[in-house]
Chains A and B, each alone.
Chain A
Amino acid sequence: MNEVMAIAGGTWSRILRMRAIYFLILCVLILIGSAYRYDVLSLGLHRILMIDVSLLLNTIAAILVAVSITFEIPKELREGVASTLLSKPLGRTHYLVGKLVGISVAGLVITGLIMIGFCLVFGSFFDRVGITMVQGHLLVMGSVIPMCAIGVFFSVFIPESLSAIVTAICIWFAHSVIALSNVPVVYAGILPDLNLFNLKAEAAYELGGIEWSYILVAILWGVAYSVFATSLASLIFSYKDLK
């Protein structure tokens, strides 16, 4: 466990040190806040727009974090950093799990900061923050874990430039599972159903609180999927020759 946390610590500290991340969070919050000014253009639906935009931008931030791991792992493999680390008493599976934990924690912190920022911005314009809005953001945070697992999976066997594209496409498909449900070859249960983490309609139209058990099951499902994807990645990685 120590080994996993050592790798994870290095990964999240790298991401959370990037100034671009805080610039991204600031931009997201400015965009969310600016939705308030669309009251005329949206015929008074700016409240709904603000909630919708916040969930959408938080999801995009989560995707960017997940895609960032597809640059880090292949780069470490190419430059030999991974070889140096793996010459220590660190199993290949531990290395991948450490990367997944590290990037997931960074993703949770970033999406969490966006959620808190949204609550502050929304609370300053409107009277109260609904529980469904918070639940919607919590599910976006939960979706970080399976999305990062997809990134880790592709990054162990696809070169860095291509793995980012493949991961982004895969996540896009995974968010479109309902639309693709009639195409069994594409979906077939292998892609994660990221639609489980989408509460935009419920949050925007404030349809009342969702059962907390649903939130818990969705997050647990995401964790289970991550275990599956990481196991598969680990199996492929165990046969890979390192630089």
Chain B
Amino acid sequence: MSNVIEINELTKYYGSLFWKKKTPALDRLTLLVPGGTVFGFLGPNGAGKTTTIKLLMDLIRPSSGQARILGEPPDSLDVKRQIGFLPDAPAFSSYLSAREFLVICAKLLRIPSATRRKRIDEVLDIVKMTNHAGSRLGGFSRGMLQRIGIAQAILNEPKLLILDEPLVGLDPHGRQELKDIIISQKKIGTDVFFSSHILSDVEKMCDSIGILNNGKLLCAGRIDQLLSATGVRLHVNPGCDNIAQDFLPMATGSIKLSDGGWELVFTTTLDLTSKLDKLRAERPGDISVSSSRENLEDFFFRKIESDRFVE
């Protein structure tokens, strides 16, 4: 399947015409997002996630590099007709009612007047805001605004949905509903690109991820490939505490079992592999080694930490 987003050497320096910040918010980012996926864009605060999304939405101009969405540049109006976007802090005209705002969006999206009302009713129902359709947006809570933001993003039945921190501001129930909406969008063939801090949700929903730190891409790829065989699990039989003590400093996790044995978890490195091979040869009856799959949270922090170490 072709890429829905292609980013090539994209760089962004904030500042005015005469004065630019020395550190780029985004530093030669190159990223390909394949079609048919839910892509999670991860990174700590200030990593450059929102900057990337704004560049993709043509809300800010790149200092250098280029991006293409659905094969076209971000400023193409044809592309904007095919995508839905939820900003990180959705803000709408406070004097309008939810329905009036969606009518304006529908007009901008050129949804025919004959089907406009029906479609607006549908999306209000999807985000469970039908009862608030006539209420002014100015009186809405953050969570309610987030729901209206989702409603306007899926109004045009987009091919690609770009969501900036969609799970922020929602209660657990609302978060679950939004996750269901994202999954249902994927089922009807919509590609989803979203940024989030909530790693457990990302792990459950995404097929692919990209991790950004200090404006640079640390890694990107299919989540199952990135997390598979990234770790090693060492089981040490009871009575072999000296082995456990030797390996404990290298372990990313350890448990002393009730039978007196040890369970140690490591991130795979060449040094560790050779040590374990040697141990297996010398004391085969005292240990067992298996591969372990890191969870996304550990993987994420390991990547961020290793990037900090490189700096």
Residues of chain A whose beta carbon lies under 8 Å from any beta carbon of chain B: 2-3, 5-7, 9-10, 13-14, 17, 76, 79-81, 83-91, 239, 241-242
Contact = CB atoms under 8 A, between A and B. Distances in A.
Nearest to A238: B61
Contacts of B104: 6-7, 9-10, 85
Interface of B: 14, 54, 57-61, 77-78, 80-81, 85, 87, 89-93, 95-96, 100, 104-105, 107-110, 149, 152
A10 B106 CA distance: 13
Given A10-B96, A241-B61, A242-B54, A88 B87 contact: no
A80 B91 contact: yes
Given A3-B107, A9-B104, A79-B91, A84 B61 contact: no
B93 A81 contact: yes
A77 B75 CA distance: 18
Given A79-B91, A80-B89, A80-B91, A86 B110 contact: no
Contacts, number: 76
Contacts of B108: 2-3, 6, 85, 88-90
Contacts of B60: 241-242
B91 A81 contact: yes
A45 B236 CA distance: 109
Contacts of A91: 77
Contact of B95 (A2, A17, A83, A241): A17
B80 A88 contact: yes
B61 A87 contact: no
B59 A83 contact: yes
A87 B91 contact: no
Q: Which of A5, A83, A85 has the most CB of B within 10 A?
A: A83
A17 B96 CA distance: 10
A134 B90 CA distance: 46
A14 to B, nearest CB: 5
Given A14-B95, A17-B95, A241 B107 contact: no
Nearest to A17: B95
Contact of B110 (A9, A13, A89, A239): A89
Give 5 closest A-B pairs by Cβ, nearest first.
A6-B107, A88-B108, A241-B60, A87-B85, A80-B91
A91 B59 CA distance: 11
Contacts of A241: 14, 54, 59-61
Contacts of A13: 100
A202 B33 CA distance: 69
Nearest to B85: A87
